[in-house]
Amino acid sequence: MHVTRRTLLTTAAGAAVAVSTSASPAAAEVSGAATLGTLRRAADYAVAKLRAVAPGVTGFPVGTKFEKWTYSQNGDWVGGFWPGQLWLAWLYSGEEQFKTLALASAEKLAPRRTDTGTHDLGFLFYPSWVTAWRLTGDPKWRDGAIQAASSLIKRYNPAGRFIRAWGALDDPKNAGRVIMDTIMNLDLLAFASRETADPRYLDIAVAHAKTAQRNFLRPDGSTPHVFDFDPVTGAPLGPNTVQGYSPASCWSRGQAWGIYGFTTIHRRTGDPEFLATARRLADFALDRLTPDHVPVWDYLAPQAPDDVKDASAGVITACGLLDLAELTHHRRYRDSALRILTAVSRTCLTAKSARAEASVARCTRNRPAEDGVEVSLPYADYYLLEGILRVLDRSKVDQAIDLSSV
């Protein structure tokens, strides 16, 4: 066999997986009272943290510096996660203050409904406004979320059949740039089609998902962060990266968005190809998890798996795996999700710090830019709670974000 660095890395990861299924303490406790106890304690911790911190929060948390939240006033791309987390805390605890804070925080996103300068409108409006509509029945949230979906579809490039990720619509820079993360913004479009009976939104979502499926997926199930297209002809140009190690690597959070996002678009369409894609992404990620069950920031970086961690990739992956397990009836996905959630609950919580304002530590925002390496990130806190609630009381997550299938 011709031994490349990649072969060696794959072999090393394979050996680690073999250890994880036989000797890891997390594996031994993958089901039963111990796991549920660990998860419940982690959810209690997260909600207690929110109870203490949320009243003093002055904007949308974007990440921590020395354990304290830093803020964006307009929500950046993460503004949906803060109200989203408060909604989940309300559902979990029944405490009215979380609902009051969620409503106030969601309201602050109102100006972003007409923002055509980003693909992030699903991240912004689904866990905040769609959830607000589902939980309060006030049509203002539904109408605003549909408005955001209308802004998002302005970014559709019909020649290439993709939604462009970045840049103003009149800016030729990045006009052909597509990123894996966008798959998570498609559920806002599915929501808009359901609510308006206008198929246009879902048609665009499906076209984008098929383009991503065709171009991002490598034979081994890994994906690059970015894929570039000629914005005029729509012709594929090739893989690239911004937050991963290289165009040939596999940024673990991008892979996590893909697992979750392809599973969700399968739910909304019933298309078995999307489910098959989600499985291939999941199988790749699971084969590279080490016995500690916290993903490295990029599965194919040269130092991987012995490199900095991204617990946010772990909890997003876990949520996607729980959904995948339900839809495929494959126990391996549920067991792995429980191992990840248990591992993050045991080894990544901020529980030993008197200063920390977030719940989950050891997340990495953008390693190549040296921006936010092993910090706390609002989406890690959000998906930890979503993942744990999917296990403890699925109906609450369903109430918040709609887990139904067509």
Catalytic residues: 120, 181
Q: Are the CB atoms for 376 and 63 separated by under 8 Å?
A: yes
Build a one-symbol-per-residue string for 130-169: x at contacts with ligand GLY by CB under 6 A, - elsewhere: ----------------------------------------
Build a one-symbol-per-residue string for 90-109: x at contacts with ligand GLY by CB under 6 A, - elsewhere: --------------------
Residue 181 interacting with ligand GLY (CB under 6 A): yes
Residue 357 interacting with ligand GLY (CB under 6 A): no
The candidate with the shortest Cα–Cα distance to 320, out of 295, 349, 302, 291, is 295
Distance CA 199, CA 253 (A): 30
Residue 193 host element (H or E): helix 186-196
- For the bound state, the minimum distance from the C-beta of residue 35 to ligand GLY, rounded and expressed in Å, comes to 27
The site that binds ligand GLY (CB under 6 A) totals a number of residues, namely 5
**Residue with nearest beta carbon to ligand GLY:** 181
Q: Are the CB atoms for 251 and 243 separated by under 8 Å?
A: yes
- For the bound state, the minimum distance from the C-beta of residue 181 to ligand GLY, rounded and expressed in Å, comes to 4
Nearest CB to ligand GLY, comparing residues 90 and 251: 251
Distance CA 312, CA 62 (A): 13
Residue 310 interacting with ligand GLY (CB under 6 A): no
Distance CA 397, CA 84 (A): 11
- For the bound state, the minimum distance from the C-beta of residue 401 to ligand GLY, rounded and expressed in Å, comes to 18
Q: Which residue has the tokens 């979502």?
A: 205
- For the bound state, the minimum distance from the C-beta of residue 383 to ligand GLY, rounded and expressed in Å, comes to 11
DSSP code at position 118: B
Which of 142, 253, 288, 362 is close enough to bind ligand GLY by CB under 6 A? 253
Q: Is 278 helix (H, G, I), strand (E, B) or coil?
A: helix
Distance CA 281, CA 173 (A): 29
Residue 381 interacting with ligand GLY (CB under 6 A): no
Q: Are the CB atoms for 37 and 49 separated by under 8 Å?
A: no
Residues lying near ligand GLY in the complex (CB under 6 A): 77, 181, 243, 253, 365
